[in-house]
A = this chain, B = another copy of it.
Amino acid sequence: MRIAIDMDEVIADPLSKFIKLYNRDCGVPLDLVLDPGNEIYHHVPEAVNMKWFDYINEKGFFRDLPVIPGAVAGIQKLQEQHDVYIVSAAMEFRNSLEDKYDWLAEHFPFISWQNIMFCGDKIIEADILIDDRIKNFKDFKGRPLLFSSPHNMLITGYERVDTWEQVLKAIL
């Protein structure tokens, strides 16, 4: 089977980095927990909301994101039986391209360049797509797996996985 896997909030964790930067610049608490259905910018005073855009467009933002727990072992496990592709909507942020490439090379060196895709719309042909954004499932003809993230917790009607353990259970 061909399995496509999103990056942000599925294998990489930008949220904790946002919170760290907001803490540094705006005094937002480091232990901030996002309410279900909320994006990070819902938790920040309006006046500093635009920081989000500054952070994410900065060179280096995506280079040192923490890896989502279980993602490395999970993808290695999937690769034993399946063709695994990383499919990230990186094209929205020009300065994320090299950072994401280098981040993957550091943490997932066993994924070859043939299996990496930076795109906008995810117009891919695959059997499974693991993603935290349902907009990416719109035209997808395979089986979508919604990877839980605070912002999507109020969404129903999709097969949901909360952790990489659950991903493996759902697929293998």
Instruction: Give the shortest distance, in Å, between A121 (CB) and chain B (any CB).
Output: 5
Asked whether A119 and B120 contact (CB < 8 A) given A94-B98, A98-B97, A101-B94, the answer is no
**A116's closest neighbor in chain B, by CB?**
B91
Contact of A115 among B115, B120, B141 (CB under 8 A): B120
Asked whether A115 and B121 contact (CB < 8 A) given A94-B101, A98-B94, the answer is yes
Q: For chain A, residues 124 to 169, give those with C-beta under 8 angstroms from any C-beta of chain B.
A: 124-126, 139, 141
Q: How far is the CA of A139 from the CA of B127 in the complex (A)?
A: 14
So how many copies of this chain end up in the complex? 2
Contact of A123 among B98, B102, B125, B141 (CB under 8 A): B125
Q: 28 pairs across A/B with beta carbons < 8 Å?
A: A2-B123, A4-B123, A85-B121, A91-B101, A91-B114, A91-B117, A94-B98, A94-B102, A97-B97, A97-B101, A97-B118, A98-B98, A113-B120, A114-B120, A114-B121, A115-B120, A116-B119, A116-B120, A117-B118, A117-B119, A117-B123, A118-B118, A118-B119, A123-B125, A123-B126, A125-B125, A125-B139, A125-B141
